[in-house]
Amino acid sequence: MKKMTEEFLKNALAGESQAHVKYAAFAEKAERENFPNVARLFKANSYAELVHATNHFQTLSGVGKTADNLEAAIGGEMFEVTEMYDAYKLVAEHQGERMAVMMFYRAMEAEKVHADLYKKAKDAVTAGKDTDSAPVHVCPVCGFTMHGDAPDKCPLCGAPKDKFVKF
């Protein structure tokens, strides 16, 4: 693939991914404000943006074998832990942005868990097995993720057990 086309695909992937997330957040807000049809429109377009992002990612040959995908996921999570969020948190601390400091800290701590879960999954896949069949629970407040039963309270943000989303 030619370099300029590759860069355009990467930029389009980033833009479509951001639009997907933004529109999903807009849909939640519209639902809370009792605009169900507007929420539905945002959800539909959020999905459309996900389709676009997925197509761009596949065109970039971003999807490989599961073990390779897990290795890529581990690398991404570790970059966020060791470089990105730590640097972002330090700047936010320096600038007195307490909410951003808390969000960066929580995300960084959750990313550590994500990386560990991916490492365990990669070990299983490399051994020709699937990962643990226990449910995966995610805190909708901070993104803390775990196998098994949800804790009584999220260890990162304190959200109650009944708020966790089960996968």
CATH number at residue 50: 1.20.1260.10
**What is the per-residue pLDDT for 160?**
98
**What is the per-residue pLDDT for 132?**
87
Specify the pairing of strand 145-147 against strand 136-138.
Answer: antiparallel
Beta bridge partners of 145: 138
Residues 148 and 79 in one domain: yes
Residues 92 and 48 in one domain: no
Residues 81 and 14 in one domain: no
Residues 41 and 83 in one domain: no
Number of domains comprising the chain: 2
Name residues whose C-beta falls within 8 Å of residue 165's C-beta, 6 or more positions apart in sequence. 137, 138, 139, 140
Among 40, 59, 78, the domain boundary falls at 59
> What whole-number distance in Å separates Cα of residue 162 and Cα of residue 167?
14
Residues 91 and 38 in one domain: no
> What is the pLDDT tens value at each position of the chain, 167 positions in all?
999 999 999 999 999 999 999 999 999 999 999 999 999 999 999 999 999 999 999 999 999 999 999 999 999 999 999 999 999 999 999 999 999 999 999 999 999 999 999 999 999 999 999 998 999 999 999 999 999 999 999 999 999 999 999 99
Sheet strand arrangement including 145-147: 145-147, 136-138, 165-166
Residues 76 and 44 in one domain: no
**What is the per-residue pLDDT for 51?**
98
Residue 121 belongs to domain spanning: 66-166
Residue 68, CA distances (Å) to 99, 146, 157 in order: 36, 22, 32
Residues 83 and 136 in one domain: yes
For residue 78, the domain's CATH number is 2.20.28.10
> What whole-number distance in Å separates Cα of residue 24 and Cα of residue 53?
14
Residues 49 and 95 in one domain: no
Q: What is the model's pTM? A: 0.89
DSSP 153: B
DSSP 154: -
Residues 53 and 75 in one domain: no
State the burial class of residue 104 (Cβ atoms within 10 Å of its Cβ: 0-12, 13-18, 19+): buried
The sign of the dihedral angle between the CA atoms of 9, 11, 15, 20 is positive
Residues 31 and 73 in one domain: no
